[in-house]
Amino acid sequence: MLIDFPTVNLVAVLMVILECGILGVLWAVHRDIRGIGHWAIGAVAISAGVIAIYLRGILPPALSVTAANIAIVTGYVLTWWGLELFFGRRPYYRSGLLLLSGAAAGLVYFSLVEPDTRSRLILLLSLLSLFAVLRAHSTLRRVLPETRFSQLFGGSVMSLQAAGNLLLLTAVIRTGTEPRPIDRMPIAGWIFLILTILSVALVFAAVLLVNQKLQARLRETAQRDQLTGALRRHVLEEAVEREIARSRRHRRPLALLLLDLDHFKAINDRYGHHAGDEALRRFAETAQAGLRREDLLGRTGGEEFCILLPDTDQEGAARLAERIRTAVENLSVDVDGQPLRLTVSIGAAALAGDDESWSGLTRAADVALYRAKKDGRNRIVVAGPPPAAESMAE
């Protein structure tokens, strides 16, 4: 059964207009999310190309063929770049521009200089297949837990697009040198229709990606302190219970650091709360920079922080604490053009035995922190055997 090409083209026109509208609204609402703008502009470029092809016979060939094909390829490139931006990566601008320049030159040559419908279609379908594969690779390159479903769905749709374009490419190559071979292939209309449906599915994949990313942001906001990026206290305590259980089960060491910025109240009183906020941000960045991926930094109070160190014994915790102390001591925070120096006191403790709990571990580290502050600040104290009683850190 043959499908009428003008009908398929009309459906494609209606679909790309719908896609432009959806992606345009998505961009307008979520302008803070990188990549969506590239998707929306790419959809406009593809739409312009599809509409120009539909108007072939009304528009001159330079617009309905050459410009239309270049617009569609440009749309694919833009959406490829947008995917890289969306996932926090640097787009391949140079490679994309080189491919796009070569594509434009080839399409102009086979359309206007030496008209050859078959060669033009082979070039166009090869490019669309390539960019569909690149978009699928960008989407599936690193599947994140928070966007897993939408990435797998979108990557699958893009892979099917690549397969559809490759089928058309294979058919064009095998049909010989007829002037318009693609219009005479019984299967071509069905493939075009499927590709049109897949393009709509891609828009839904884009909406899902944005929705899941926003959900991840909300979870992150609930879990992390907005000023410093450190974990909130309740999130850290939940993680600690899991790590203590794992440590006991596998007989692995576990250590804890309690950190307190020295003379923080004096910083706020002398320089203002904006200086205090900047000091906290820079301190948290400095501490986080020295941690492993599995280490957890949390904020437990105004200027008080906590670092949980899985698979780390007391000696390892002391070495890390010294690195952090030195890095903070060498840190210079700019406050209204004036350098502000910071120091930190640190108490370190390690899990003593199977009977020790989170409260016991924090108590031991808290006692060590109190001693560090009492002995002059800007120093580290490692907890010994838990004492019967001790004053808590100030």
pTM: 0.67
pLDDT band (50, 70, 90) for residue 5: low
Among 320, 256, 254, 238, smallest CA distance to 287 is for 320
Alpha carbon of residue 199 to chain centroid: 23
pLDDT at 386 over 50: no
Question: What confidence tens digit (pLDDT) does each residue in 173-187 have?
Answer: 877 655 454 555 566
- pLDDT tens column, 151-175: 999 999 999 999 999 988 888 887 7
Rounded alpha-carbon distances, angstroms, from residue 300 to 4, 304, 322: 68, 6, 20
For residue 168, which of 120, 133, 116, 125 has the smallest C-alpha distance? 125
Strand partners, 381: 347
- Examine the pLDDT at 333 and tell me if it is beyond 60: yes
DSSP state of 291: S
Q: How far apart are CA 348 and CA 317, in angstroms?
A: 7
The pLDDT assigned to 387 comes to 42
By the 10 Å C-beta count (0-12 exposed, 13-18 middle, 19+ buried), 6 is classed as: exposed
CA 277 from centroid of its chain's CA atoms:
27
Encode pLDDT of 13-69 as tens digits: 888 888 889 999 999 988 889 999 999 999 999 999 989 988 888 999 899 899 999
> How many Cα neighbours within 13 Å face the side chain of 257?
33
Both tokens of 101, joined, read 């320049």
pLDDT of residue 131: 95
Tokens 């390829």 found at: 73
Q: Kindly list the structural domains of the chain, giving each domain's residue range(s) and its CATH number in brackets, ordered by start.
A: 5-223 (1.20.1070), 233-382 (3.30.70.270)
N-terminal to C-terminal alpha carbon distance within the chain = 83
Q: What is the mean pLDDT of the chain?
A: 86
Provide the pLDDT confidence category of residue 388 given band limits of 50, 70 and 90. Answer: very low
Check residue 10 and give its pLDDT: 77
* Lookup: tokens for 121: 């279609």
134/208 Cα distance (integer angstroms)? 20
Alpha-carbon span 279 to 189, nearest angstrom: 64
CB 225 within 8 A of CB 253: no
Quote the CA–CA distance of 81 and 38 in Å, as a whole number.
7
